[in-house]
Structure 1
Amino acid sequence: MRRSLLPTVVLACSLAVPALAAEPAKKLAKAPAKTICVNVKDGSKAVQGTNLVIEPGEKVKDAVAVDGDVIVKKGAVVDNDVAAIRGRVILEPGAKVKGDVVSVGGDVKVPAGAHVDGNATALGGKLQLDRKEDVGGEQVNFSLVFNGDDLVKEFIGKALDEDAGKCHILDDDDDGDKDV
């Protein structure tokens, strides 16, 4: 049985609440517009600073976008998980995800006819389901709004802004990761 990431993310967000409450509210700096990194070595796709579109008939292992949306088109299949950090996960009717779907700082949209075998989780965004039976696992929607600011989005934004402009690519053949 697969272990859920939700308890870890909720714990991290709850630890950040005191630090965020002590600082005055301010607008988050935007990440660079065109930092793009793609790794398709193991059948997975990952991007930063742009949208990731899984096209009809395409089959990928995992799909991840940072500062962008993951869009799974009709007829596309993701064998494991889909994740968007500061972006949305959008499935079209006829799309299939065999693992979990997670958005941190954005919405998850699962329309009628799309299917998620695992969990569907939106942290700091909205979980939009046309039919609950299209998600095989848990359905979680978590936002923590304080004085009009979503603290989950603030926490993720601060964490990502520290590394803005760099993309970390892990390569199984190398001893470590590379900053691009």
Structure 2
Amino acid sequence: MRRPLLPTLLLACSLAVPALAAEPAKKPSKAPAKTICVNVKDGSKAVQGTNLVVEPGEKIHDAVAVDGDVIVKKGAVVDNDVAAVRGRVILEPGARVKGDVVSIGGEVRVPAGAHVDGSATALGGKLHLDKKEDVGGETVDFSLVFNGDDLVKEFIGKALDEDAGKCHILDDDDDDKDDDDKDV
């Protein structure tokens, strides 16, 4: 049975609640360098600090981007879920996602001719659907704006900025050899 993606993402975000209670941090004089991480384990791809493009004819299990967009091109198939945190999920006409599509702090675009078998969710951004029937499950579009600031985007931004420059890739395939995690 497939686990729902949204509760997992919301749980991960709730762990960052102490970041909102802290005093505002001083802005660094220059922006930290972006960290780019790619994992192609089990046919899934994940990136941080750049866009993830699923090319035509490519078939992957999951697609995740943090601080970047996930772009699923025409003719590409994602067998499970697509998620972008502080980024957008963009499907081209002819792209297919067999699971759910979620963007936290960005938008989701599902044009006519693209198809999402599961749900499409945009938290802290907009959900753009040309045809509602191109999404098989629920559609959720939620933003909470206060004094001109989107609180969902602010929350995600503060949580991610605390871990800026760090990237951890856990590889389950190495469990037989040793139990150490690999940090990048």
Give me the TM-score of the superposition, normalised by structure 2. Answer: 0.84
What corresponds to 1:130 in structure 2?
Answer: 130
Distance 1:114 1:81 in 2: 15
Gap runs ≥5 in structure 2: none
What corresponds to 1:179 in structure 2?
Answer: 183
Count of aligned pairs: 178
Q: Does 1:141 align with 2:145?
A: no
SS, match of residue 42 in structure 1? helix
Question: Given the superposition, is the C-alpha separation of residues 60 and 127 from structure 1 closer, same or farther in structure 2, using an over 3 Å criterion?
Answer: same
Q: Give the Å deviation of 1:19.
A: 7.7
Distance 2:61 2:123 in 1: 23
What corresponds to 1:98 in structure 2?
Answer: 98
Question: Given the superposition, is the C-alpha separation of residues 83 and 11 from structure 1 closer, same or farther in structure 2, using an over 3 Å criterion?
Answer: closer
Distance 2:120 2:21 in 1: 29
Distance 2:28 2:124 in 1: 15
Q: Give the Å deviation of 1:6.
A: 3.9
Asked if 2 retains the 8 angstrom alpha-carbon contact of 1:44 and 1:61, the reply is yes
- Amino acid across the alignment from 2:118: G
Asked if 1 retains the 8 angstrom alpha-carbon contact of 2:19 and 2:159, the reply is no
Q: Give the Å deviation of 1:35.
A: 1.2
Question: Which deviates more, 167-176 or 142-151?
Answer: 167-176
Q: Give the Å deviation of 1:148.
A: 1.0
Superposed counterparts of 1:47-58, under 5 Å: 47-58=47-58
What corresponds to 2:36 in structure 1?
Answer: 36
SS, match of residue 121 in structure 1? strand
- Amino acid across the alignment from 1:75: G
Question: Given the superposition, is the C-alpha separation of residues 82 and 146 from structure 1 closer, same or farther in structure 2, using an over 3 Å criterion?
Answer: same
Gap runs ≥5 in structure 1: none
Distance 2:171 2:150 in 1: 34
Give me the TM-score of the superposition, normalised by structure 1. Answer: 0.86
Distance 2:105 2:28 in 1: 12
Q: Which runs of 4+ in 1 moved over 3 A?
A: 1-8, 10-13, 18-24, 26-34
CA RMSD of aligned residues (A): 2.9
Q: Give the Å deviation of 1:177.
A: 3.1
Q: Give the Å deviation of 1:41.
A: 1.9
Distance 2:129 2:99 in 1: 17
- Amino acid across the alignment from 1:54: V
Question: Given the superposition, is the C-alpha separation of residues 177 and 118 from structure 1 closer, same or farther in structure 2, using an over 3 Å criterion?
Answer: same
Distance 1:75 1:164 in 2: 34
Question: Given the superposition, is the C-alpha separation of residues 141 and 31 from structure 1 closer, same or farther in structure 2, using an over 3 Å criterion?
Answer: farther
